[in-house]
Amino acid sequence: ETGVTQTPRHLVMGMTNKKSLKCEQHLGHNAMYWYKQSAKKPLELMFVYSLEERVENNSVPSRFSPECPNSSHLFLHLHTLQPEDSALYLCASSQEGVQSANTEAFFGQGTRLTVV
Amino acid sequence: GEDVEQSLFLSVREGDSSVINCTYTDSSSTYLYWYKQEPGAGLQLLTYIFSNMDMKQDQRLTVLLNKKDKHLSLRIADTQTGDSAIYFCAEMRYSTLTFGKGTMLLVSP
């Protein structure tokens, strides 16, 4: 256990469905991240939240919508996804703001998403 | 090309040493990391090295950094079957991690 918990672990959804992925961390960190891991591609950073504000959005399609209601919880809302969105979605958290320190990121186990 | 590059596959015998290589492109990266991902699991931090270091040893793991060539390697001594996993190299830039595609390490008995 890394202190970062993701639910569900597996999700199958149709292209017209709406679903949400949840991430929770109890490490006292102030930054949370969503990553996408597809086969044969590097890990892709999707969203960064620092102090509950989104600080980066790497041109992710609008069918992915993040939400960070507080520093311990992060959601990824999914709507009208495509089959190519099938991937492992990883959540991570870290303590940001101390430039000289090692900002180690702790990862959850991921949600395996299949879009049919 | 990719920012962080790794070979995709490495096969070794149990008891041998494994060396996984990585190249990165941003000389301003402050920290470089090695993560391990076992099947069905998330990423687990194995070790990291600060950019002003050349080498770091942690039990069976040795990290070598050649900053001039932007080359990072992870050596696993006495590799065990439990070391079979995907190993990701990552660099820290502006508080964001950039990962390579990962190297699948297969350890045979």
pLDDT at A78 > cutoff 60: yes
**In chain B, what residues touch A23 (CB-CB under 8 Å)?**
none
Given a cut of 90, is residue B66 above it in pLDDT? yes
Q: To the nearest whole angstrom, how far is the Cα of B5 from the nearest Cα of chain A?
A: 9
Q: Look at residue B38 in the predicted model and tell me its pLDDT.
A: 85
Cα–Cα distance, A116 to A95 (Å, whole number): 37
Beta-carbon neighbour count of residue A5 at 10 Å? Answer: 14
Percent of chain A with pLDDT over 90: 52
**Residue B59 pLDDT > 60, yes or no?**
yes
Mean pLDDT of B26-40: 83
Q: What percent of chain B has pLDDT over 70?
A: 94
Search chain B and give the residue with CA nearest A50: B95
Q: What is the mean pLDDT of residues B49-60?
A: 90
Q: Does A105 touch chain B (CB under 8 A)?
A: yes
Distance from the Cα of B6 to chain A's closest Cα (Å) equals: 10
Statement: residue A7 has pLDDT above 90: yes
The CA-CA-CA angle for residues B74, B75, B76, to 5°, reads 120
Q: Do B97 and A110 touch (CB under 8 A)?
A: no
**Conformational region of residue A31, where left means phi above 0, alpha means psi within -120 to 50, and beta covers everything else:** beta
Residue matched to tokens 């065990």: B80
> What's the pLDDT score for residue A38?
84
How close A36 comes to chain B (CA, Å)? 11
**Residues of B with Cβ-Cβ distance to A46 under 8 angstroms:** none
Considering only CA atoms, give the Rg of chain B.
13
Asked if A40 lies within 8 A of B101 by C-beta distance, the reply is: yes
